[in-house]
Structure 1
């Protein structure tokens, strides 16, 4: 990185149940290479020199997180999350006084340190933070009733939003509060800033920064992590 990196707190919303995985527990607690998905995710975040702390927002009655070894790490703080992702992010932000915050999905264990470096470098030069994203590669279709295609959407300038997403802490807190009060649909943190008329920047991220959502994603994430372990050994 060409600019000095600030100290950052990472917020990991992890109160979801992951119904599409059809598993016996929330997807973040499924195992990859002898560690749960969320352990891979938090460990990676903590291995970055700019990230000083990780705030994890789980459901209040989550029986799994307290049993993880990483839960006892002094750099990890657990808070009660909410019914929706945005509720968990808001809960995670409470009490954070550091200038910068980075929000990352619990079920994205394959993000790389190099992508985080690139995100930080752009975010600290932006007036409205930045997000990792990936240009849309496939033909996009808009579908109507009965699964019928209504038209093809031009994919030029379309990007898949990824995480982490990084913003000034107070700016994100304010944007989320205004977006919630305005009844906006907040699908990610950047959408709250967009609602407030701000323009976060995108940083091209790696395609292997997948979100484990469906059963087949588990095998793919396992493959990526295994390959990285081989490359680093």
Structure 2
């Protein structure tokens, strides 16, 4: 058990194309309560106890950069975004502050992700010393996911479509699940139908 103060950097994964959405409006640029999803998630990250925030962009990068406006964060372009989420994990990790003791990867498609959840995951990491901290509702794991710096070398060598979850099978004993009392923070958007349901969820 550990109570050492962690320095956790945040990486928002916003580079990929929305394959099940139209090209006219990728999900990064969908608006909820007058704010694009990419800006909404980035702002929540900035309001949290993360020491800094990196946003990885690629598809429609100019528009997504514009949506972020003047938020005090770092934007990194992933030219290889079409080769899978692992490329965005690597691109974001490469820009994380060298004094970071952990990194948290945040999806751009969970509009009800809260600052309090981000901070709670950090607090659990500090308390337990867990190398991987993941939120869960009932039997379903979600995001964001925190990885200790001891796993940075493995994250830096990921390949393929998926991201950091590739590490889960070989590090099961290092994972701490944070059980949530509500599914809402984990609700994500994969299809236009998901988007319609989520809008109704808050109406």
Same fold (TM over 0.5): yes
Aligned to 1:91: 91
In 1, the alpha carbon distance for the partners of 2:172 and 2:184 equals 31
For residues 87-124 of structure 1, what are the alpha-carbon distances to aligned partners after superposition, in whole Å with 9 as ceiling and x for unaligned? Answer: 10110000321112111101112112332233122223
Q: Work out the CA distance in 2 between the residues paired with 1:33 and 1:23.
A: 22
Partner of 1:120: 122
Following superposition, the deviation at residue 17 of structure 1 comes to: 1.2
Shift of 1:27: 0.9
2:15 and 2:57 in contact (8 A); partners too: yes
Residue 222 and residue 51 in structure 1: after superposition, are their counterparts in 2 closer, same or farther (change >3 A)?
farther
Aligned Cα RMSD in Å? 2.5
Aligned to 2:18: 18
Q: Which residue of 2 aligns with 1:207?
A: 183
Q: Aligned pairs, how many?
A: 193
2: CA distance, partners of 1:188 / 1:207: 22
- Between the aligned partners of 2:77 and 2:141, the Cα distance in structure 1 is 25
**Structure 2 counterpart of 1:216:** 193
Shift in CA distance, 215/134, structure 1 to aligned 2, threshold 3 Å: same
C-alpha contact 1:179 1:195 (8 A) present in aligned 2: no
Assess, with a 3 A threshold, how the Cα gap between structure 1 residues 197 and 220 changes in structure 2: closer, same or farther.
closer
Q: Structure 1, unaligned stretches of length 5 or more?
A: 136-158, 228-233
Mark the CA change 1:219 to 1:189 in structure 2 (over 3 Å): closer, same or farther.
same
C-alpha deviation, 1:214, in angstroms: 1.3
1:194 to 150, 169, 177: 169
Counterpart of 1:90 in 2: which secondary structure? helix
Moved more, 110-119 or 26-35: 110-119
3-state SS of the aligned residue for 2:107?
A: coil
In structure 2, relative to structure 1, the CA distance for the partners of 1:123 and 1:114 (3 Å cut) is same
The equivalent of 1:66 in structure 2 is 65
Kept in 2, the 8 Å contact 1:12–1:89? The answer is no
Which structure has more relative contact order (CA 8 Å, sep 6+)? It is: 2
